[in-house]
Chain A
Amino acid sequence: MKRGLEGPSPEERPTPRGRRNKQGIRIDPEVEATYEPRRTVISALVEHEPGVLSDVSGLFSRRQFNIESLTVGPTEDEDLARITIVVEEPDPGIDQVEKQLRKLVPVISVRELEPDAMRRELALIKVNADRPAEVAAVADMYDGETVDSSPETATIEVTGARQKIEAAIDTFSQFGIREISRTGTTALARGTDQTAAPEAAQPADGANQETYTQTANDD
């Protein structure tokens, strides 16, 4: 079974010197550059109908996008919902996330938010209430609100940027944390800049613009 076709064998053939990186981008073979992952917030305006969330989350899991959080909620228009997704991907991956999202039929518009966008999450932190005064003081420090208290526990609600929540949890840990429940990040663009407007839905705009710009990390 040593049959096959005739012709110069592989080692006798010329080979180009060029190379591409894992993202299919041509690179200088000496440098071997690839894009590093960065964390960013993508906001999608979708039709408020059953199944949208599973369409979106299914898309993320089957395409193996590195997703940090995904939140969904109603908007000013009762027919529309906003999905806010925090992803950590290299630039080409972020680009793919946006394009794949746009392909879903119930998705109206998709946009990556600017680094200065407002982003908030909420955490409920249940701690031991052995030292109630100190718990109250820490809560105060993070603009938190005690939403439940019992002889043994206190539950504090904290909202804010991710870092603030992390810092609050860190500080609360001295009392002994019993349970934590956190929402993912929700976000809106600043000022008159619209987060994800139906007008911004031209799917090809993003596709034709392939210059990857490094934006500052969020929080």
Chain B
Amino acid sequence: MSERAAKVTPEEEQDDDQITDSAAPDAATESESTTDADAETTTEPVTSGAEAVVRALENAGVEYAFGVQGGAIMPVYDALYDSDIYHVTMAHEQGAAHAADAYGIVSGEPGVCLATSGPGATNLVTGIADADMDSDPMVALTGQVPTEFVGNDAFQETDTTGVTTPITKDNTFSSDSDRVGSDVSEAFALAREGRPGPTLVDLPKDVTKGETDREPDAPKVPDTYRVQERADPEIVDAAAERIETSNKPVMLLGGGVIKGEASEACREFAIEHEIPVITTMPGIGAFPEDHELSLEMAGMHGTGYANMAITHCDTLIGIGTRFDDRLTGGIETFAPDAEVIHVDIDPAEISKNIHADYPLVGDAETVVEQLADAVDASPEAKKWRAQCQQWKSDYSMAYEAPEDEPVQPEFVVEALDEATSDRAIVTTGVGQHQMWACQYWTYTEPRTWVSSHGLGAMGYGLPSAIGARLAADDDQEVVCIDGDGSFLMTLQGLSVAVRENLDITVAVLNNEYIGMVRQWQDAFFEGRHSASDYHWMPEFDKLAEAFGAAGFRIDDYDDVAETIEEAIAYDGPSVIDVHIDPDANVYPMVPSGGDNGQFALTEDQL
């Protein structure tokens, strides 16, 4: 919990005389006060649907909720007024969803976002879709017009469950004040059980205003939702034998490894059997990138060595990955010689994109332990490991940074990494800066990398830093590496960071371009920079100051280390406007649908 947690609002203190003393400005006592408050509030019976909703949140252990007020959700906010759940008012609902998403990534518990009906709900959509693509646990609560108006195109009405069906794990139109609390409890259980994902409960105003004395049921998934924890032992044995007899094995760790708390088990397995490890982008942090066996990230902008290894391996142990096209490139050339062992908790991921020769359905940690028990001998892969090391030196991730040139973005990312601890959390927007943040920051711990992977939602950086900050430990720095275009999309969130005094450092890698688009235009559209040139960018340092945050600016190498140090040391939100080389591009690169082994190292090779 951050220092912000101590800022219990005066209203909350007055409302609950029993906790007035314990709401001291000190994070350690804050959690106790929550417990006391829980114990106390549960003695008060609920009287309305809205109170039942809030009770369900409290029962689920919710500490923070991110949202924006509005007409149809007002009864819920009214009930929140008396709750110890800290509501973070966001400047835009998209930010609320991203903040909740990031909270879910960092804490492992579903993040909660709230919005009113109509535009409030539709503004959440990007963040919900993002959580769905990345399997992040999230609960979205949306207001809805009163039941009698539903379907009549009433003011601020949207068919929210209709809109969000394709992007939620499950959603519910809650139609009964007696049931609404339990609907929220169930949404919680579903969001985190099995493969995590976003759930949504649509709350008509009459249902939340309606009287009820029904306490919500305990969070429980419906009977029809079943999750298999352990993989079929016969296939485990067959897979184990395959691993033992392979000569060129690799492990591919996806986001599911982190969500399934399987990082430790995977590390032990890889190190014991000396198997090189690649991660997907959401899998960053599952394996320490400074370890000899790590080949870092594969895929479109993955390292050359990871892409060589994935292309040439004979056994691919994919864990918690859905083989996204940004990872695989063209299916025809993806690990074409490899027998694939695929561990996933979602049976539908098995053989969806890449055929699994050894399908292992189950919880990542459990299945990796099953595999560890079944594998008796390590594969004979000395030559393979040497080959991987050779590729590491052949295709090393290095860049030139001559003093007289504009600042190179890679240098800035490395400087930020150096200035922070191993447990620092990085959040990003989407674009070139995101790729540099993957490539040039050395991640060693799970849940320290927060990004929009599958959806690629620009604007994710700042609001996710807000959510990450509240979920992070006090001693973890939160650094948002953003791009100018991405930052511009949600920078109104700075007002939230300032109000809550969140210790966040935003480094905007500013090239006055939608850089990734510019890079593609250079490569594939004859350099025609249609609508990608953002030469009208504001001065972000001054903008930050206008919001009440600290503003910094970097123009050349001399400023980098010192300015970063100052910004990180600043106790509150700070923004560094880093003017980078506008021509810098991201390499290596596999053109979309291309062969991973044929990655380009320069523009000429595309």
Contact = CB atoms under 8 A, between A and B. Distances in A.
Given A51-B173, A100-B348, A10 B361 contact: no
B536 interface: no
Nearest to A1: B583
Contacts of B339: 26
A39 to B, nearest CB: 21
Interface residues of B, dominant DSSP: loop
A11 to B, nearest CB: 9
B355 A25 contact: yes
Contact of A105 (B222, B332, B356, B595): B222
B234 to A, nearest CB: 9
Contacts of A5: 304, 395-399, 587-588, 601-602
B522 interface: yes
Interface stretch (B69-77, B225-233, B260-268): B225-233
A68 B337 CA distance: 36
A99 B347 contact: yes
A4 B602 contact: yes
B228 A23 contact: no
A33 to B, nearest CB: 12
B336 interface: yes
B604 A207 contact: no
A10 B587 CA distance: 13
The interface centre, meaning the residue of A7, A50, A92, A210 with most chain B CB atoms within 10 A of its CB, is: A7
The interface centre, meaning the residue of B173, B346, B353 with most chain A CB atoms within 10 A of its CB, is: B346
Nearest to A55: B165
A16 interface: yes
A95 B351 contact: yes
B347 A26 contact: no
Interface in B509-524: 522
A160 interface: no
A13 B522 CA distance: 25
Interface in A1-30: 1-10, 13-26
B476 interface: no
A64 interface: no
A105 B334 contact: no
Nearest to B602: A4
Given A7-B601, A16-B311, A105 B331 contact: no
A201 interface: yes
Contact of B332 (A8, A14, A20, A207): A20
Interface string B323-338: 1000000011110111
The interface centre, meaning the residue of B165, B226, B351, B597 with most chain A CB atoms within 10 A of its CB, is: B351
| Residues of A in contact with B, size category | 35 or more
A204 B170 contact: no
Interface string B182-223: 000000001000000000000000000000000000000010
B389 interface: no
Interface in B129-179: 161-162, 165-166, 169-170, 173
Interface string B569-606: 00000000000000111011000000101111111110
Interface in A77-129: 92, 95-96, 99-100, 102-103, 105-108
A24 B342 CA distance: 13
B404 interface: no
B312 interface: yes
B334 A47 contact: no
A210 B336 contact: no
B165 A24 contact: no
B106 interface: no
18 contacts: A4-B585, A4-B588, A5-B399, A5-B587, A15-B595, A18-B336, A20-B332, A22-B332, A24-B334, A25-B355, A26-B337, A96-B351, A99-B348, A99-B352, A105-B169, A201-B224, A207-B350, A207-B359
A202 interface: yes
Contact of A24 (B190, B354, B361): B354
Nearest to B595: A15
A63 to B, nearest CB: 9
Contacts of A132: none
A207 B347 contact: yes
B598 A10 contact: yes
Given A24-B331, A207-B359, A18 B597 contact: no
Nearest to B400: A3
Given A19-B336, A51-B173, A201-B224, A9 B583 contact: no
A127 to B, nearest CB: 39
A208 interface: yes
Contacts of A10: 597-600, 605
Given A51-B173, A58-B166, A13 B355 contact: no
A50 to B, nearest CB: 8
Nearest to A7: B395
A206 B347 contact: yes
B394 interface: yes
> What 10 A-B pairs have minimum CB-CB distances, sorted nearest first?
A4-B602, A207-B347, A18-B336, A99-B348, A25-B355, A204-B228, A24-B354, A7-B395, A5-B601, A204-B361
A214 interface: no
B412 interface: no
Nearest to A5: B601
A2 B603 contact: yes
